[in-house]
Amino acid sequence: MSDIDIEKQEKTAFSIHSTQSNIILSDEVVGPIGKWQAIKDSFKRVDLGELDSNLTEAERVAIATARAPLKRHLKSRHIQMIAIGGAIGTGLFVGSGSSLRTAGPAGVLIGYGISSTFILCMICALGEMAVEFPVSGGFTTYATRFVDDSFGFAANFNYALQWLVILPLEIVSASITVNYWGTPKKYRDGFVALFWLVIVTINMFGVKGYGEAEFWFSTVKVVCILGFIICGISLVCGARGSYIGGTYWHHPYGAFVGDNAGARFKGVMSVFTSAAFAFGGSEMVGLAAAETSNPRKSLPKAAKQVFWRITIFYMVSLTLVGLLVSHKDPRLIGSSSADAAASPFVIALVSHGIKGLPSVFNVVICIAVLSVGNSSVYACSRTLAAFSEQGYAPKWMNLEYVDRSGRPLVGIIITSTFGLLGFVAASDKEGEVFNWLYALFGLSSLFTWAGICFCHIRFRRALSAQGRSTDELSFVSPVGVKGSYYGIFIITCVLIAEFWVAAWPNGYKQMSGSETVQNFFETYLSFPVFVFSYFGRRIYKKNWQLFIPSIDVDIDTGRREIDIENLKAEIAEEKAELAAKPFYKRAYAFWCE
């Protein structure tokens, strides 16, 4: 089925196509125009018309997000690299240094290993819903449809704020990274302006430009990680003359940080904040579903394979970092420090006499910053548009403005403007601002991932309550609802442990009262923000219903595949074909396709 047919089935009220310098609006040829006029016209708003005033609020939200005029230009290769690229950035390249310093090499692997398990559950749950409902806002919209209005508001606000903060955070990180080459501080503004301009320009080319840029950014990062893994294995095995092995795991260094079990446990728990920052972006496949040409084919493969690739990249590379760099190395400093350019990957190469590659790696870190900054503008602008489509923003803000090229223009402008905070890089308060931006982001990814798992549970419950089954789903999460319950359980445990670490950090007895309070909010600030937005919405709307009744949940509006019976027949045929294949092919299909 072509994209045009799909759009007609979903009753998209407006379509625009460019053919031989003619503009076709709703199938009517207006006439030949110049290229400059075509560019100007592309910024005009798509008029979808008013919705029926007799619709309920839930129906209005479902239809508004389903008919958003976003362009479906993302292909399977874009989707996979978007997810990989969003999760391989400064969190891995730089933030892992903080984790190694506070938890030790074994603590880092435990923290990231546990995080990867609930990432699997989350991304499979997200894939199941995104294949069925590739709507504007993705999982932030599911929170409104499957849970309730207040939860949807909190989820949307939290996710938009998360990416809004990341853009200046990444730009500041990039300006710090160039310190490696001895760049004078007076040139920081120039680098900030350059990074900001590149990121904004890419997003002005629409979703196709974003997807293509992200594909190549991510390719560079993946090649770099693979190169480091090969180099790291060689160094550990003695390529530079002496066998290293597990030296840094033993006396006098140790596999953990701390003199007792409590201190070591706190060290491991502190890893989860940087792990959340590092894995943040792996959920981007769900947000991009609305702009994917064929979500039924591309999203399941992306959801499964992205998890395995990210896990392998992280676990193998961090294992090698722990073998090559001591957690007591004085060059390792906190990821929320003004000297955050001290990447443990770079330290590993420098410490073992590898020349040239450290500079190459810092260039890749700059590319990673561009990649994550690119994703932040994309994600925040789409979330803001969905935020408005769901009735959460004042009409005068026009956040749902989508132009004829499928760009949520107002959202892009707001996100880009907020990115100008990156110019604080030239200020003496740079480190302090960096700390608080990082605190705002902090644990917000954990709330997002727990929310996705909860939406999946509510979606399955609605299916059951309405007498329907997973037989009608194009893709079923291989870990099922149990995986979503597991994800919520682990994330809740992490949040509780993080509260303990934030309130009573290692060495808190030597800290003043103000330092303890500051440490708590720098670690846990995103939690009160989420709680305030949730209960603030409840009080404002005077709505005390905890959940939408399962029987009333809308599980049809926005589906790309609208002929359920025909879909069931196709799924049954595909299952029969798979059942006839050898075991190893069935296993591969279950976990990777």
Domain coordinates in residue numbering, the chain: 1-42, 58-562, 564-593
What per-residue confidence (pLDDT) applies to 384? 92
Percent of the chain with pLDDT over 70: 87
Q: In this model, does residue 301 exceed pLDDT 80? A: no
The pLDDT value recorded for residue 363 is 87
User: Which pLDDT does position 85 carry in this prediction?
Assistant: 65
Residue 155, pLDDT > 60, answer: yes
pLDDT tens across 486-538, in order?
A: 999 999 988 888 888 778 776 666 666 677 777 787 778 888 889 999 999 99
Q: How confident is the model at residue 26 (pLDDT cuts 50, 70, 90)?
A: very low
CA dist., res. 372 & res. 541, Å (int): 35
Helix and strand element counts for the chain (H, E): 23, 3
Cα–Cα distance for residue pair 202/367, rounded to 1 Å: 13
Cβ contact 100:344 at 8 Å: yes
The pLDDT tens digits of the residues spanning 453-477 come to 999 999 999 999 999 988 888 888 9
138 Ramachandran zone, left/alpha/beta (phi>0; psi -120 to 50): left
Query: CA–CA separation, 234 vs 478, rounded Å?
Result: 37
Lowest mean pLDDT among 10-19, 75-84, 462-471: 10-19
The confidence score (pLDDT) of residue 86 equals 60
Q: Residue 51: what residue type?
A: L
pLDDT band at 165 (very low <50, low <70, confident <90, very high): confident
The whole-number average pLDDT for the span 166-171 is 83
Distance of CA 87 to the CA centre of its chain: 7
How would DSSP label each residue in 34-59?
A: -HHHHHHHHTSBP---PPPTTS-HHH
Instruction: Decide if pLDDT at 2 tops 50.
Output: no
Q: How far apart are CA 345 and CA 591, in angstroms?
A: 30
Q: How far is residue 528's CA from residue 445's CA, in Å, rounded to a whole number?
A: 14
Is pLDDT above 80 for 428?
A: no
Supply the CATH classification number for the domain 58-562: 1.20.1740.10
Nearest CA among 162, 116, 129 for reference residue 477: 129
pLDDT tier, 10 (very low <50, low <70, confident <90, very high otherwise): very low
- pLDDT above 70 (res 541): yes
Query: In the predicted model, what is the mean pLDDT of the chain?
Result: 81
Residue type, 32: P
